[in-house]
Amino acid sequence: MTSFLIIVGLVYVTVAILIYIELKQRRPLPRVQPMERGSIIICGRNEEVNLPACLASVERQTISPDSLEVILVDDASTDATGQLMEDFKAQSRFPVTVLHMPPLKDGERGGKWRPLKEGIKLARHDALLLTDADAELAPTWSVRHLEELERVDVSAGIALIQGDSIWRKIQHLDWLFVLGVGSSLAHWGMPQAALGKNLSVRRTAYDAVGGLEGVGFSLTEDRALVQALVDHGSKVVFPLMPDIAVKARGEAAWRDYVQQRKRWASGIWALKPPGKLCILMMGIRNIGIIVGLFMGLMPALWVWIATALANFIVLSRIAKLMKLESSLYFYPFWELFYTWTPALLAIQMQFIRKVVWKGHKF
């Protein structure tokens, strides 16, 4: 067991060093002439609480009204989401289209996959800019995505969890770490996934894979779409810069967090080998530390300290790139969460057989 722990620690630290080197050497690409026009597609189901802030951030975009259209899809909401979309259409400086989806029919696939594919069909421009109704966009968000799409087929961005509570701060660092590692894999030419909250795709590349219909239904439609695009030869860029970030609220309660992670877990086995290996390595590291500590093995503590230091170094670099160094004050809370929570989640998920998303069960 001791030898196993030492090997796991050495492998983990080695990979962390490689990730840090990539992040350290990364330099912002020079600005280019952006694509001329883009279409923002936002889907929402029962988002009357979050939608106003999202739409306000759309209105603050620094892009010309002639270069951007907004497509809002109301996914059969039972609250004021649809009316808020209509109100925005009436007063926005951008051209806005609102699509109201009917309720699901018996046997029909739901999730975000359904409204998103219908919203994209209405897009008139070459750049598809995708975000969620609970996201707030940086003012330069649309311009930066159009710049990146001048170079590549797919541009992904990071999401920053907002909130002052320790629980929100832990989620903030968790997303920062996971997405930062994902950004490194993308820059190594091994992109694994991206967030539907912050994603843009060239229309030609999207059509080349048959769109979301060709990709097929998935609870993690963003991962499935990006994977299909990569398999078709599309190049993905994942910049770590504040001006292409979005803000999100995260999950308010532990139960919601478990459902979110279970939904994400449904797409793990579809990842490519590099993504699976990273997740496997993280899991083995955490389980090895926990088991070793319960067995009273001192090497488990030293492996935890060494790998925690590696995590901090990587996270520090990601935070610096995103100009979020102050969030590192909560690192000790995140490290405890990161090490001990996955085992608890794995146990709890065994008793949750269905995934619940926006009132739908899968």
The DSSP result for 47-79, as a single string, is: -TTTHHHHHHHHHT--S-GGGEEEEEEE-S-SS
Say if residue 208 is in the same domain as residue 300: no
- Tell me how many domains the chain contains: 2
Weakest mean pLDDT among 124-128, 167-171, 274-278, 337-341: 274-278
Say if residue 340 is in the same domain as residue 242: no
Say if residue 248 is in the same domain as residue 275: no
- Please say if the pLDDT value at position 352 is more than 70: no
- Please say if the pLDDT value at position 51 is more than 80: yes
**Residue 135 neighbours by CB under 8 Å, 6+ apart:** 54, 57, 159, 197, 198, 246, 247, 248
Half-sphere exposure (Cβ direction) of 255: Cα atoms closer than 13 Å: 4
Using one digit for the tens of pLDDT, what is the confidence trace for 241-264?
Answer: 999 999 998 777 777 777 767 666
Instruction: Choose one of 253, 287, 313: the last residue of a domain.
Output: 253
> In angstroms, rounded to a whole number, what is the distance separating the alpha carbons of residues 341 and 200?
32
Instruction: Choose one of 186, 220, 253: the last residue of a domain.
Output: 253
Say if residue 280 is in the same domain as residue 236: no
Task: Provide the pLDDT for residue 267.
Answer: 56
Say if residue 113 is in the same domain as residue 212: yes
Q: Which pLDDT band, with edges at 50, 70 and 90, does 2 fall under?
A: confident
Residue 354 domain flag: no
343: tokens are 């085992």
165: tokens are 């509570």
Task: Provide the pLDDT for residue 291.
Answer: 84
- Please say if the pLDDT value at position 302 is more than 80: yes
Using one digit for the tens of pLDDT, what is the confidence trace for 182-209?
Answer: 898 888 877 777 788 999 999 999 999 9
Say if residue 288 is in the same domain as residue 171: no
Say if residue 187 is in the same domain as residue 96: yes
Task: Provide the pLDDT for residue 356.
Answer: 56
Domain of residue 231, CATH code: 3.90.550.10
Domain that holds residue 67: 33-253
Residue 165 domain flag: yes
Residue 168 domain flag: yes
Say if residue 113 is in the same domain as residue 151: yes
Say if residue 82 is in the same domain as residue 118: yes
Instruction: Choose one of 222, 253, 284: the last residue of a domain.
Output: 253
Say if residue 177 is in the same domain as residue 92: yes
Paired with 46 in beta bridges are: none
Task: Provide the pLDDT for residue 265.
Answer: 63
Percent of the chain with pLDDT over 90: 56
Task: Provide the pLDDT for residue 135.
Answer: 95
- Please say if the pLDDT value at position 342 is more than 90: no
Say if residue 139 is in the same domain as residue 87: yes
